[in-house]
Structure 1
Amino acid sequence: MHSDNDNQQGDNALTELWQAQPTNTIDVSEVKKSFNSERVKQRLYILIDIILLLPPLYLLYLAWGEMTFAARALCLFMVVTAVPLVMYQLWLRRVAAFTKDSQTLDHLQQFTHQIKNNIRIAFITKHSAWPAFIVLPLFVVERHFAGALSPEKWDKLIIALPIASIIVIVWGVWAHKRQQRFEAQLAVLQSMADKRGH
């Protein structure tokens, strides 16, 4: 999870920038600075997305031969849904991450485009949380019928499942708040674009 303070400071800076602009002037240098900061963030997020995706896929590859049919089906379902979503998020991050700087680049337009994509990413993140409430119980049921749950493992599950549920809820709430923050940021950027157009 990324720093809420950093995001809040960025939002405040944009709001102050917007409010401080005369009707027909936009400080493009400040927008450029914000866009360059977003570029660094998006490149870092791309790296994190890839790093977080590879270990589970490798572990799945190692354990595949020992899994039951039901466990394979469940894991395959997760991969088939998760991998395309991650690839889509990487695609959405491309605007800021890989746009080359130039004299003619409209930083305000590009920054606005990336914030729109950030809203989509936050929306995906938010809705990637609740399926865990289906997948986790299914996994427990599969392990139970496979005879892989000893009394000791049940004791651990009784502790682990509520903790996992709390993490999932916090994850969903955090993603929802990020989406709202990006929507507010988008409104500021669009207002700046309207001023610039006038």
Structure 2
Amino acid sequence: MNARTLTGWRWWQVSESGYLSGFHTPYARAEWPSGADVTAVCNQDADSHGPQDAPWPDCECGVRLMPELADLLAGIRNEPERTGITPHVWRVIGGADYYEARRRDGVLYVPDVIGEVVASGRLEDACPWDDPPGTMRAEHARIGTRLYVSQHLWRYAPVLRANYPHARIRVGRRTGLAWLDEIRKTEATTTKKRSKSKPKERTQS
């Protein structure tokens, strides 16, 4: 696919130091910088179908995002295995104590942060065997201007604001899957307000 810029949505974990961390290489459980791109790397074995320039058409590599927020929220809710948000994943990533903490907070099926991401460079469609519908894979990506933080991590909000000063941090009022509905409604209201605030074009008679 031709190189271009695309604004979309994705999810992250929050690291202990209050940075966002991704799920796919090279930023799987590594921190995303503020105001700078991350670059996708193909980590497939050289004797199979990689490493290649990421994102490669017939591979799993690339930084994931979804152009439409509705697709991301639907993927988290309806296809947790393909979105990568399941109790098993949390147990593998963080161990038994981390899993138990998420279970107590009611956040086994939601991420820590959902937010805007700006992708650039080469773009490819979803990996058909790995991604939910609506996914795009990008060569480069950086954190956008809107970040929604799960309510169970409200204590991290000041640190996230300091680490990502360009972004608006909004802490959820609801937890679990209900938080997804809150994000959807908030974005719909914001979009409506923006459309009303745009000056109307004058028509010449």
Q: TM-score, normalised by structure 2?
A: 0.25
Structure whose residues are more often helix by fraction: 1
Structure whose residues are more often strand by fraction: 2
Which has the bigger relative contact order, CA under 8 A and spacing at least 6?
1
Q: Which has the larger radius of gyration?
A: 1
Q: TM-score, normalised by structure 1?
A: 0.25
